C-alpha cells in the first residue's frame, strides 16, 4: 500500500512515512494510491478488532498487524465506554453516535489516542525524536496534549486562537504539566494558526532541522482512525441498511472519513450531510462550486469556526479523477486571489455524490440544544446541536445518525446560556479545573512561531 500526494510533486511513500510526515513535501495531502476494499464490520465485532482490521488494510506491509492490534488495544482502553462510539436513539429513525467517551471528551480522541501510541511505537523502534505541530480550533489541541503528554519521543507544539476556545477546551491543552507539551495562544483565528503551520511545513530547512510532523486532520492517520466508527455504526444498524450521516464539520476531516469508508466498501452506501455553522465555505462549495477567503466568524460552536476546510482537497483529488495538476491549479488560484472555482466536471461529480453541506445559524444552534433537552433530558454540546438542527428537518426513510462530536461539559457557558442548566465535567475529568495552566501568547506570524519553536528546542 503506497500513498501519493494530492498535488503530485512527492514520491509515493508507505503508510508509516505518510503518517509520520503529516503533510506531503509538495504541500499536498497524502491519500492511498488506490482505495483498499475492506470487508465490512460484522454485527457484534469488537471495536478494537474492527479498528485493527481497517488499519491493517491501510498499512499494508508497512507494519505488522500484531503491532497495530496492541496499539489499538492500549489506545481505546482509555475510553470510558467499552463500545468506544456507542449509538443512542434520539427519536424513531434517528440516532446519535457518541464520540465523546475519550479522555478529553471529544471525537478527536478516537484518532489521537491511536496516533500518540503509534508515534511512540514507531519512533521508539527507530530511535528518533520528532516535533509535532498542531493547529487547533479547540478540541484537537487537547486531544493531542493528552495523547502525547510525557512522550519520550515527541515534543508537541499547539497553536490555538487566543480567546476563541472555551475555557474547558483550553485547560485540556494547557494543564497536562508535561514538559514536552508547549502551547501558543495565537492572536488570530484558527485559519491563522493553520496557515502558520502550513507555512512552517513549507520551510524545508526548518522542517528538517526540527523533524517536523503534524497531527491535524491533514494527517492520514486521523482519517483512517475515523473511518472505523462509520463502519461500526453500519454494523450496529444492519450491514445492508442504507444510512444517512449528519456530521458537524469545520475542517471536513470527519465527513471525509465517511467518504473514505464508503469508497473502501465499509458502508452500504455513502450518504452524508455536513452540518456547518455561519462559516459556510463548505456549503458554498457544494451549492456553487466556489471557494472564497473570508474571516472566520465566531459562533457558539467554536471548533467549527473554520473558513478553509482543508480536507476538501482530498475529495477534490477524486472529483478530478486524481488529476494532481487540476488540484494544484485550484489551490494556486485560491492562494493568489483568495477565491477559486471548481472545474465544471468536478462540480458535476460533487453534485452527483450523496453529499451536501447545510448551514445553521447561532439562534438555531441554541434552540436545538433546548429542544433536545426538552425531548430527551440530555444536554448536548453546541457542535452536536448544529447536527441535530439539520437532522430534525430531514424527510428520509433512511436511519439518520448524528455524530455527537463533544461532551456538553466542554462548553458549560454556552450550555448554561442555551438551557439554563449546568454541564459539569464527568467525574473522571473533575480534577481538570484544579490543575495549573501553562501557555504563552505569540504573535500570529510564521516568523514569531518559528523563533519560539527554535528557542524551545535549543540544547
- For the annotated catalytic residues, the residue numbers are 108
Is residue 406 a contact partner of residue 166, using CB atoms and an 8 Å limit?
A: no
The DSSP H or E segment spanning 442 is strand 440-442
Residue partners of 131: CB distance under 8 A and separation at least 6: 154, 155, 157, 210, 211, 212, 213, 453, 457
**434 by DSSP, 3-state: which?**
helix
Core vs surface per residue 283-311: b (16+ CB within 10 A) or e: bbbbeebebeeeebebbbbbbbbbbbbbb
Strand partners, 355: 272
In order of 26, 408, 413, the CA distances from 418 in angstroms are 45, 11, 9
**384 by DSSP, 3-state: which?**
helix
Is residue 38 a contact partner of residue 265, using CB atoms and an 8 Å limit?
A: yes
Residue 143 to residue 292: CA distance in whole angstroms: 30
Is residue 307 a contact partner of residue 338, using CB atoms and an 8 Å limit?
A: no
Amino acid at each position: 500500500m503506497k500513498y501519493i500526494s494530492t498535488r503530485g510533486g512527492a514520491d509515493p511513500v508507505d503508510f508509516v512515512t505518510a503518517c509520520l510526515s503529516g503533510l506531503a513535501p509538495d504541500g499536498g495531502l497524502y491519500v492511498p494510491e488506490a482505495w483498499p476494499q475492506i470487508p465490512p464490520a460484522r454485527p457484534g465485532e469488537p471495536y478494537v478488532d474492527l479498528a485493527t482490521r481497517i488499519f491493517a488494510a491501510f498499512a499494508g506491509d508497512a507494519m505488522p498487524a500484531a503491532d497495530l492490534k496492541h496499539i489499538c488495544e492500549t489506545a481505546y482502553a482509555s475510553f470510558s465506554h467499552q463500545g468506544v462510539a456507542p449509538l443512542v436513539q434520539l427519536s424513531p429513525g434517528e440516532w446519535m453516535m457518541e464520540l465523546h467517551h475519550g479522555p478529553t471528551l471529544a471525537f478527536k480522541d478516537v484518532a489521537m489516542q491511536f496516533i500518540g501510541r503509534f508515534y511512540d511505537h514507531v519512533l521508539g523502534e527507530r530511535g528518533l525524536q520528532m516535533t509535532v505541530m498542531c493547529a487547533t480550533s479547540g478540541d484537537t489541541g487537547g486531544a493531542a496534549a493528552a495523547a502525547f503528554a510525557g512522550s519520550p519521543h515527541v515534543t508537541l507544539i499547539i497553536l490555538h486562537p487566543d480567546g476563541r476556545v472555551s475555557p474547558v477546551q483550553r485547560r485540556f491543552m494547557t494543564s497536562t504539566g508535561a514538559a514536552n507539551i508547549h502551547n501558543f495562544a495565537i492572536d488570530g483565528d484558527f485559519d491563522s494558526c493553520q496557515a502558520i503551520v502550513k507555512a512552517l511545513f513549507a520551510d524545508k530547512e526548518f522542517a528538517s532541522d526540527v523533524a517536523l510532523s503534524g497531527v491535524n486532520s491533514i494527517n492520514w492517520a486521523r482519517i483512517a482512525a475515523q473511518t472505523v466508527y462509520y463502519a461500526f455504526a453500519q454494523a450496529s444498524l444492519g450491514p445492508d441498511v442504507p444510512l444517512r450521516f449528519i456530521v458537524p464539520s469545520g475542517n471536513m476531516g470527519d465527513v471525509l472519513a465517511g467518504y473514505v469508508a464508503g469508497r473502501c466498501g465499509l458502508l452500504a452506501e455513502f450518504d452524508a450531510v455536513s452540518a456547518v455553522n455561519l462559516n459556510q465555505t463548505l456549503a458554498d462549495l457544494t451549492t456553487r462550486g466556489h471557494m472564497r477567503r473570508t474571516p472566520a466568524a465566531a459562533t457558539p460552536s467554536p471548533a467549527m469556526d473554520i473558513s478553509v476546510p482543508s480536507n476538501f482537497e482530498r475529495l477534490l483529488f477524486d472529483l478530478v479523477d486524481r488529476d494532481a495538476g487540476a488540484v494544484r491549479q485550484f489551490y494556486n488560484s485560491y492562494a493568489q486571489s483568495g477565491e477559486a472555482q471548481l472545474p465544471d466536471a468536478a462540480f458535476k461529480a460533487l453534485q452527483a455524490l450523496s453529499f451536501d453541506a447545510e448551514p445553521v445559524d447561532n439562534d438555531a444552534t441554541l434552540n436545538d440544544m433546548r429542544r433536545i433537552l426538552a425531548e430527551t433530558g440530555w444536554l448536548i454540546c453546541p457542535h452536536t446541536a448544529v447536527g441535530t438542527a439539520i437532522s430534525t428537518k430531514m424527510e428520509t426513510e433512511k436511519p439518520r445518525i448524528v455524530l455527537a462530536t463533544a461532551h456538553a461539559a466542554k462548553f458549560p457557558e454556552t450550555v448554561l446560556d442555551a438551557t439554563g442548566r449546568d454541564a459539569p465535567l464527568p467525574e473522571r475529568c473533575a480534577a481538570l479545573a484544579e490543575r495549573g495552566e501553562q501557555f504563552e501568547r505569540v504573535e500570529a506570524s510564521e516568523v514569531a512561531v518559528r523563533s519560539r519553536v527554535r528557542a524551545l528546542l535549543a540544547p
